[in-house]
């Protein structure tokens, strides 16, 4: 087991380092195959580990720090949660690596790209496998760092570099909170081993558990782009599309959910924390879905839907339904990666046009992409019997069954969000693939996009049939539920089959209603009317949603402007005025004193002699006065 | 009979003050300034000899002899420089030589 786990981590690390060091000098095909082989090698290790898996296992790879009472072994922990995530990460990342080979075929700087992708996989796997919170934190920062570099991959354009910085700085706010939580835990327990900490939660007073939970929630909020730190994710779409699919949809942004799920036995005992998690998740789900309604940029629609879907996962964690949250995390990774990769095919075919109002008719030119994208959109919308339907519904069911006023209110918010989600998913499908478009440019040859389209197929199958991972009780119960069962701290109330069917019926009706509304508004002839409308100035509400509730403007006014003003004062008044001016004036004073004293040296011997004599007289006088 | 040290010191003090006054005041003539310096040196030697007589030790006298040798060499050097300066500016007034002005 040690071999499998350490190889799973080391292969991508090796691939990344090799590509970073000598990738430029390797033939292009070799560098690309190296990167892909590294991730698939990791996947093989993950599969072998899964086959050899018997029960939760802790593996110490090496001793790292051992000074005074700080012991930080490089230890890995394989349990159902990390195992299922590892399999998903290796598989999705492997497919995205293959996709990138074709997507980035015209990119000159392929070595840097693949090195960063591989390093990202390494960091993500160490984040997931870590048994030690410091190791987890290292992975946490590692993925953030790779994400920063990959968002700004085309750094010669200022907006891309700015988007990278924005992502890094915004997530840093959450990271700081997580760091504080880590230091506090160490101070309390003298250990940072996750398994030990999770078993010691009951020793702490409730207030401290709440505070720790809220700090970790803040970390998760930053990483998973939840309210109020979600502003970075839409801008992160400046990176290449495979990066958006891999980092900003499937893996990294779900790290926050993973952290909360992992630490749930410790923090879950505090009602305040779980309520806060649920509220943040519910509000974010609604926020993301509402913003996605008005976006014009294909990738930004998907970014806001990612924010919204992660909100659902947070809702699941807040309701204590770790299994449901993990289930949704896995299925979401498949269908959201699928949607992003499909978007990448569309964007390539449209020659880097990203405005959905200028697309159309692609269902004929890109049939494979169309069907796969449709499958992804169906999962996102939660159409019955897709994977997304089961996973989203298990979260909503858990919320309803928890039975407090708060969770039931959030349940209705979740239902409303599901309706909006179905609407915007199919708005996107109708605008991109249906109708005919006057703006059509000459498309790429089919063969250019074809290899990329092939990657979509396995993801589409997984998204559509992901539901079998965790079927509801009336269909014989889920594999994931019994697999993940032992680790979830709280045992959610089981719904009876009738209740579950009723709740799923409600969700299914809403999803279908959303699709129907989208059909009425964007299908057929109505589509052309919408295209006409899109040329006009947007209505205030649409502009409000298009700009993400003006959160960027709010932060600009509340934080950035005052900070810039303060910086300007510090720069012009304090630094240039006080410090520079002070030093200048001191130097001027010394200089003028010097030249004033310099007038003494007249060059006349007599003056020197007189001064000498006066000095001698003074000395003598002093000595005489002393000896009195 | 012996002269008390106190008297010797008074004489030396007067000599030194006069020499200093000469050096400072007579700046129009560099030779007179040199003479003032010589007078001050003589006052020093007088003090040394007086001390030597008072405590019956030969050190002061030996030192005076060395000072005489030193003074003679100094004077010969200084006079040579005076001749040189006079050649340059046809003057022995020290205020004419201000090339050291800062």
% of chain A at pLDDT higher than 70: 94
- pLDDT at site A491: 53
A584, with CB counted inside 10 A (0-12, 13-18, 19+), is: exposed
Co-location of A343 and A435 in the same domain: yes
Residue A158 lies in a domain: no
A604 touches B at CB < 8 Å: yes
Residue A618's pLDDT is 95
Q: What is the mean pLDDT of residues A365-386?
A: 86
Nearest chain B Cα distance for residue A623, angstroms? 17
For residues A346 and A436, membership in a common domain is answered with yes
Query: What's the pTM value of the predicted model, to 2 decimals?
Result: 0.79
Confidence of residue A306 (pLDDT cuts 50, 70, 90): very high
Residue A598 at interface with chain B, using a CB cutoff of 8 Å: yes
CA B55 to chain centroid, in Å, comes to 25
Lowest pLDDT segment from A305-319, A467-481, B22-36: A467-481
pLDDT of amino acid B40: 93
Distance CA(A552)–CA(A237), nearest Å, equals 16
Both A519 and A576 in a single domain? no
Q: How far is A621 from chain B, CA to nearest CA, in Å? A: 15
Same domain, A473 and A603: no
Are B98 and A602 in contact (CB < 8 Å)?
yes
Same domain flag for A478 and A607: no
Where does a domain end: A539, A570, A589?
A539
**Does the CB of A606 have a partner CB in chain B at under 8 Å?**
yes
* Predicted confidence band of residue B27 (pLDDT cuts 50, 70, 90): confident
Most B CBs within 10 Å, among A603, A608, A610, to test the B interface: A603
The CATH number that domain B27-94 falls under is 1.10.287.3510
Can you tell me the ipTM of this complex?
0.83
What is the tens place of the pLDDT at every residue in A17-44?
998 888 888 888 888 888 899 999 999 9
Asked whether the predicted pLDDT for residue A485 surpasses 70, the reply is: no
Mean per-residue pLDDT, A589-596: 94
CB contact under 8 A, A603 and B20: no
Q: Is the pLDDT confidence value at A68 over 80?
A: no
**If pLDDT is split at 50, 70 and 90, which confidence band does A271 have?**
confident
Q: Where are the domains of chain B?
A: 27-94
A186 in a structural domain = no
Q: Which of A539, A565, A596 lies at the terminal end of a domain, its last residue?
A: A539
A626 pLDDT exceeds 90? Answer: yes
A21 reaches B (C-beta below 8 A): no
Verify whether the Cβ–Cβ distance B102 to A613 is below 8 Å. Answer: no
Q: What's the confidence (pLDDT) of residue A472?
A: 65
Residue range(s) defining the domain that contains residue A314: 270-539
For residue A263, is it within any domain?
Answer: no
Which chain B residue has its CA at the smallest distance from A601's CA? Answer: B102
**Domain shared by A286 and A341, yes or no:** yes
Which residue in chain A is spatially nearest to B98 when comparing CA positions?
A: A603
DSSP-derived secondary structure for A261-324: HHTHHHHTT-HHHHHHHHHHHHHHHHHHHHHHTT--BHHHHHHHHHHHHHHHHHHHHHTT-HHH
The residue among A511, A539, A567 that closes a domain is A539
- Report CB contact under 8 Å: B95, A606: yes
**What pLDDT is stored for residue A467 in this prediction?**
75
For residues A72-87, average pLDDT: 87
Residue A455 has pLDDT above 90, yes or no: no
CB contact under 8 A, A606 and B99: no
The answer to whether A281 and A318 have CB atoms below 8 angstroms apart is yes
Which of B20, B27, B99 minimises the CB distance to A603? Answer: B99
Residue A159 lies in a domain: no
Using a CB–CB cutoff of 8 Å, tell me whether A525 touches chain B: no
Q: Is A218 contained in some domain? A: no
Using CB atoms, pick whichever of A599, A603, A613 lies closest to residue B24.
Answer: A613
Kindly state the average pLDDT of the residues B73-90: 91
For residue A585, give how far its alpha carbon lies from the nearest alpha carbon of chain B (Å): 24
Of residues B1 and A56, more confidence is placed in A56
* Closest to B41 measured CA to CA, from B60, B5, B67: B67
Nearest chain B residue (CA) to A611: B24
Does the structure show a pLDDT above 90 at A72? no
pLDDT exceeds cutoff 60 at A14 = yes
Least confident range of A187-201, A243-257, A466-480: A466-480
Considering the domain architecture, whether residues A459 and A597 belong to the same structural domain is answered as: no
pLDDT of res. A111: 87
Residues A344, A384: one domain? yes
B38-70: pLDDT as tens digits: 999 999 999 999 999 888 889 999 999 999 999
Question: CB A602 to CB B101 under 8 A?
Answer: yes
Percent above pLDDT 90 for chain A: 27
- Per-residue pLDDT band at A125 (split at 50, 70, 90): very high
At residue B102, the pLDDT reads 64
A624 to chain B, any CB pair closer than 8 A? The answer is: no
Q: What is the pLDDT of residue A486?
A: 55
Is the CB of B102 less than 8 angstroms away from the CB of A606?
no
Q: Which of A117-121, A542-546, A602-606 has the highest mean pLDDT?
A: A117-121
pLDDT surpassing 70 at residue A346? yes
Average pLDDT over residues A351-371: 81
Are A152 and A161 in contact, with CB atoms under 8 Å apart?
yes
Average pLDDT over all residues of chain A: 86
Buried b (16+ CB within 10 A) or exposed e, A586-619: eeeeeeeeeeeeeeeeeebbbbebbeeeeeeeee
The span from the CA of A21 to the CA of A53, in Å, is 35
Contacts of A600 in chain B (CB under 8 A): 102
User: In total, how many domains does chain A have?
Assistant: 2
Three-class DSSP category at A102: helix
> Which residues in chain A have their CB less than 8 angstroms from residue B102's CB?
598-603
Residue A152 counted as domain residue: no
């Amino acid at each position: 087991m040690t071999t499998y786990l350490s190889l799973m981590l080391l292969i991508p690390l090796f691939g990344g380092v090799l590509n970073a060091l000598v990738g430029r000098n390797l033939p292009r095909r070799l560098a690309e195959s190296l990167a892909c082989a590294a991730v698939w090698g990791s996947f093989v290790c993950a599969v072998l580990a899964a086959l050899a898996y018997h029960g939760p296992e802790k593996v110490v790879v090496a001793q790292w720090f051992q000074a005074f009472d700080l012991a930080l072994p490089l230890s890995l922990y394989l349990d159902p949660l990390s195992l299922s995530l590892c399999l998903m990460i290796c598989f999705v990342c492997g497919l995205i690596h293959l996709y990138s080979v074709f997507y980035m075929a015209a990119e000159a700087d392929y070595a840097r790209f693949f090195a960063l992708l591989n390093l990202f996989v390494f960091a993500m796997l160490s984040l997931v496998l870590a048994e030690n919170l410091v190791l987890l934190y290292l992975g946490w920062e590692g993925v953030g760092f790779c994400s920063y570099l990959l968002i700004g991959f085309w750094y010669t354009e200022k907006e891309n570099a700015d988007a990278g910085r924005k992502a890094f700085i915004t997530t840093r706010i959450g990271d700081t909170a997580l760091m504080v939580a880590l230091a506090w835990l160490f101070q309390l327990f003298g250990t940072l081993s996750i398994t030990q900490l999770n078993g010691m939660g009951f020793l702490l007073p409730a207030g401290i558990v709440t505070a720790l939970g809220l700090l970790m929630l803040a970390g998760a909020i930053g990483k998973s782009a939840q309210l109020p730190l979600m502003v970075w994710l839409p801008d992160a779409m400046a990176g290449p599309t495979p990066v958006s699919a891999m980092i900003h949809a499937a893996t990294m942004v779900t790290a926050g959910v993973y952290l909360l799920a992992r630490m749930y036995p410790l923090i879950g005992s505090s009602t305040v924390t779980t309520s806060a998690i649920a509220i943040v998740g519910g509000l974010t789900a609604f926020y993301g879905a509402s913003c996605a309604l008005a976006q014009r940029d294909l990738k930004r629609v998907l970014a806001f839907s990612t924010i919204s879907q992660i909100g659902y996962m947070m809702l699941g964690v807040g309701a204590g339904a770790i299994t449901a949250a993990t289930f949704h995390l896995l299925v979401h990774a498949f269908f959201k990666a699928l949607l992003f990769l499909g978007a990448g095919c569309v964007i390539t075919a449209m020659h880097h046009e990203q405005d959905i109002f200028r697309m159309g008719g692609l269902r004929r030119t890109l049939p494979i992409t169309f069907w796969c994208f449709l499958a992804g959109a169906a999962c996102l919308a939660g159409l019955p019997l897709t994977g997304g339907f089961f996973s989203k519904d298990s979260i909503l069911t858990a919320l309803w069954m928890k039975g407090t006023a708060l969770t039931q209110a959030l349940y209705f918010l979740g239902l409303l969000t599901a309706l909006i989600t179905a609407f915007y998913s199919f708005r996107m499908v109708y605008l991109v693939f249906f109708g005919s478009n006057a703006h059509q440019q000459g498309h790429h040859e089919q063969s250019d996009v074809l290899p990329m389209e092939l990657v979509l197929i396995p993801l589409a199958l997984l998204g559509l049939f992901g539901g079998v991972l965790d079927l509801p009780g009336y269909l014989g119960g889920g594999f994931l539920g019994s697999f993940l069962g032992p680790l979830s701290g709280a045992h959610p109330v089981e719904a009876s089959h009738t209740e579950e069917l009723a709740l799923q019926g409600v969700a299914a009706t809403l999803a279908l209603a959303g699709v129907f509304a989208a059909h009425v508004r964007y299908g057929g002839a109505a589509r052309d009317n919408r295209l006409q409308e899109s040329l006009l100035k947007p209505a205030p509400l649409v502009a409000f949603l298009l700009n993400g509730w003006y959160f960027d403007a709010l932060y600009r006014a509340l934080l950035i402007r005052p900070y810039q003003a303060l910086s300007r004062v510090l720069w012009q008044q304090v630094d240039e005025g006080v410090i520079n001016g002070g030093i200048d004036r001191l130097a001027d004073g010394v200089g003028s004193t010097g030249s004033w004293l310099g007038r003494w040296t007249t060059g006349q011997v007599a003056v020197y002699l007189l001064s000498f004599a006066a000095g001698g007289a003074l000395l003598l006088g002093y000595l005489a006065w002393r000896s009195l | 009979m012996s002269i008390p040290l106190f008297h010797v010191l008074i004489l030396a003090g007067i000599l030194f003050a006069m020499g200093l006054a000469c050096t400072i005041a007579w700046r129009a003539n560099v030779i007179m300034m040199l003479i003032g310096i010589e007078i001050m040196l003589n006052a020093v030697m007088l003090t040394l000899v007086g001390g030597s007589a008072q405590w019956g030790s030969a050190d002061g006298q030996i030192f005076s002899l060395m000072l005489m040798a030193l003074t003679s060499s100094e004077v010969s050097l200084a006079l040579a420089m005076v001749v040189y300066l006079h050649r340059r500016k046809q003057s022995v007034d020290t205020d004419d030589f201000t090339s050291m002005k800062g």
